[in-house]
Amino acid sequence: MKTNVGTLDRIVRVLIGLGLGSLFFLLEGPVRFVGVIGLVPLLTAAIGSCPLYAVLGLSTCPLEKE
């Protein structure tokens, strides 16, 4: 997979992922599983590639100098 997630984007994804993930522990009942959605931004930040960005042709990664 090609890297298409830049440094600032990764930081934002980690923060959003942790925020959503904390809902799993803060909420009660079936609604608490909304926190599992936090895994998506955490995984894309860890991998450095976002499949949605690839489909849309976006990239927040700085261009490589040739």
52-62 residue pLDDT tens:
999 999 999 98
> Does residue 50 form part of some domain?
yes
Instruction: Find, among 9, 16, 10, the residue nearest to 37 by Cα.
Output: 16
pLDDT band, very low/low/confident/very high, at 2 (cuts 50, 70, 90): confident
Structure pTM? 0.86
Q: Which two tokens stand for residue 66?
A: 């040739």
For residues 61 and 6, the answer to whether their CB atoms sit within 8 Å is yes
Domain that holds residue 41: 7-56
For residues 5 and 53, the answer to whether their CB atoms sit within 8 Å is yes
> Does residue 61 form part of some domain?
no
> Does residue 2 form part of some domain?
no
> Does residue 64 form part of some domain?
no
Query: Total structural domains in the chain?
Result: 1
Q: What is the DSSP letter of 37?
A: G
> Does residue 1 form part of some domain?
no
* Residue 64 confidence (pLDDT): 57
> Does residue 36 form part of some domain?
yes
* Residue 63 confidence (pLDDT): 73
